[in-house]
Amino acid sequence: MNPFALLACLLLAASCFSQELKRSIPYVENGHARHVLDIYTPANAKNLPVVFWIHGGGWQTGDKANVQEKPAWFTKKGFVFVSINHRLLPEVTMDVLVRDVAKAFGWMHQHIAEHGGDPKRVLVGGHSSGAQLATLICTDDRYLKAESVSFDSLIGCVPVDGDTYDIPAIIETAETRRRVHHEPQAKFGHREKFGNDPAKHLNFSAVTHIAKGNGIPPFLIIHVADHPDNSAQARRLAAVLKEAEIPVTIFGGKETNHSKINALIGTEGDATTKALEEFVTKVLK
């Protein structure tokens, strides 16, 4: 192929796909500076399934812009992609933070049709702390119900390398490891972040709320295969979902790490992306 023909082909391919970004839309009227979300839409979007994405950062940092190739990948697959911010620890407590996520979901559910999305077909996902938040709002229906939304709107949940689906377990694991190695305990670890109260630790654990017949959507649980804590948490979540007869796929990424497994989603040749594509195809049927 001569250079001019190649250029024409590239220009034609580019013209067939375009993506629009609407940045920092408030989801709370007169709210906090972090009560905002971004919406990525393919051209001429209408009644498309939606991705609702929650960033990571240990509940203390992170930003909705930290989505790498995911918006481009999902919009090319025919999705509207929504990425949210929420308030952070320690400015607010965990219960307030989770309610921020639910409020963002409620706003999205009410308004996404204006941006070409279908509010009845939403895939929820998140990385790290965002994985815990995604999993919690997809298993404990009280948060979405408070925003007049039901699990009927959900087509799937994709938590990426979280370590807090069973919070008492990770607290015991981490604190025991430090204790037997004569290391100081964390001053603001999971115990403190989740309220320093055993009842709250259970309440913020997705595994506490999973039950058969509750409308919980199918799950794709992604984790770093050689990370012992995150792998154990992924297996724990998968086991509870299976016991409740909720469809679940677990994928352990090899030769990767906590940041890389998230950053490479949507890139060519990535094994995690292949697993995601298979899951998305299944839940859209």
Quick: pLDDT tens for 109-148. 999 999 999 999 999 999 999 999 999 999 999 999 999 9
Max CA distance (Å), the chain? 69
Which of 264, 157, 282, 132 has the alpha carbon at shortest distance from 220? 157
Q: Count CA atoms within 13 Å of residue 53 on its CB side.
A: 27
Q: What is the pLDDT, as a whole number, of residue 138?
A: 98
The yes-or-no verdict on residue 58 having pLDDT over 90 is yes
Instruction: Give tens-digit pLDDT for 192-229.
Output: 999 999 999 999 999 999 999 999 999 999 999 999 99
d(CA 61, CA 87): 9
> Which residues partner with 249 through β-bridges?
220
For residues 48 and 78, is the Cβ–Cβ distance under 8 A? Answer: yes
Helix (H, G, I), strand (E, B) or coil at 26: strand
The yes-or-no verdict on residue 8 having pLDDT over 50 is no
Residue 261 lies in a domain: yes
For residues 105 and 144, is the Cβ–Cβ distance under 8 A? Answer: yes
Residue 175 lies in a domain: yes
Pairing assessment for the beta strands 80-84 and 36-42 based on DSSP bridges: antiparallel
Residue 12 lies in a domain: no
Q: Identity (one letter) of the amino acid at 163?
A: D
Helix (H, G, I), strand (E, B) or coil at 157: strand
Q: What is the pLDDT, as a whole number, of residue 270?
A: 98
| CB burial string 236-264: b at 16+ within 10 A, e below | bbbebbeebebebbbbbbeebebeebbbb
Mean pLDDT in residue range 38-46: 96
Cβ contacts of residue 36 below 8 Å, gap of 6+? 24, 25, 26, 27, 64, 84, 85
Looking at residue 81, the DSSP 8-state letter turns out to be E
| CB burial string 3-26: b at 16+ within 10 A, e below | eeeeeeeeeeeeeeeeeeeeeebe
Percentage, residues of the chain above pLDDT 90: 93
User: Which pLDDT band holds residue 15 (cuts at 50, 70, 90)?
Assistant: very low
Q: What is the pLDDT, as a whole number, of residue 18?
A: 79
- Computed over every residue of the chain, the mean pLDDT equals 95
Q: What is the pLDDT, as a whole number, of residue 10?
A: 46
Residue 4 lies in a domain: no
More confident residue, 32 or 16: 32
The yes-or-no verdict on residue 94 having pLDDT over 50 is yes
155: Cα separation from own chain's centroid: 13
Residue 154 lies in a domain: yes
How many CB atoms are located within 10 Å of the residue 32 CB? Answer: 14
Provide the number of structural domains found in the chain: 1
Place of tokens 């004569």: 182
User: Which pLDDT band holds residue 250 (cuts at 50, 70, 90)?
Assistant: very high
Copy the structure tokens of residue 269: 């040749």
Q: What is the pLDDT, as a whole number, of residue 251?
A: 98
Residue 5 lies in a domain: no
Residue 33 lies in a domain: yes
Q: What is the pLDDT, as a whole number, of residue 17?
A: 58
The yes-or-no verdict on residue 163 having pLDDT over 90 is yes
pTM of the model: 0.94
Instruction: Please list the alpha-helical segments (H only) found in the chain.
Output: 3-16, 70-76, 94-111, 129-137, 142-145, 167-180, 190-193, 198-203, 206-209, 228-243, 258-263, 271-284
Q: What is the pLDDT, as a whole number, of residue 14?
A: 44
Q: What is the pLDDT, as a whole number, of residue 12?
A: 45
The CA-CA-CA angle for residues 83, 162, 243, to 5°, reads 110
Residue 74 lies in a domain: yes
For residues 111 and 41, is the Cβ–Cβ distance under 8 A? Answer: no
- CATH code where residue 74 lies: 3.40.50.1820
Domain that holds residue 232: 18-284
